[in-house]
């Protein structure tokens, strides 16, 4: 996935969105790589499901790059942004655990 693909996937807009998307993808790849301890790829290709996990993690990071929860309210209208990436979901862990090197 490219930063442009991530921007289209999330529909994010803003002045620095290209740089933020690139950074979100870099961060997501690093998080997945650390969790799998380098076994997320075979050669230069990601193993099945790993690229989708990277996409979802990067989307959560890009949706709230500050990673701070925010609540705004004007009269009866309110908007809440969650903190963004708080860890892998159970489904993401199910995918990544297939490739994680575990201690014996």
Mean of the pLDDT values across residues 50-78?
A: 89
Distances (CA, A) of 57 to 17, 50, 77, 86, 104: 16, 11, 29, 10, 28
Position 8 scores a pLDDT of 93
Q: Quickly tell me which residue has 């090197």 as its tokens.
A: 101
pLDDT tens, residue by residue, 10-21: 998 888 999 999
> pTM for the whole thing?
0.83
14-18, 21-25, 66-70: which has the highest mean pLDDT? 21-25
Mean of the pLDDT values across residues 14-38?
A: 94
Domain residue ranges of the chain, discontinuous segments joined by +: 3-96
Position 5 scores a pLDDT of 94
Is 80 exceeded by the pLDDT of residue 9? Answer: yes
């Amino acid at each position: 996935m490219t930063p442009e693909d991530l921007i289209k996937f999330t529909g994010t807009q803003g002045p620095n969105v290209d740089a933020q998307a690139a950074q979100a993808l870099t961060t997501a790849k690093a998080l997945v790589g650390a969790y799998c301890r380098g076994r997320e790829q075979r050669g230069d290709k990601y193993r099945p499901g790993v690229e989708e996990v990277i996409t979802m993690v990067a989307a959560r990071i890009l949706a709230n790059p500050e990673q701070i929860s925010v609540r705004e309210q004007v009269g009866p209208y309110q908007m809440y942004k969650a903190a963004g990436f708080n860890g892998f979901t159970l489904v993401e862990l199910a995918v990544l655990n297939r490739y994680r090197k575990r201690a014996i």
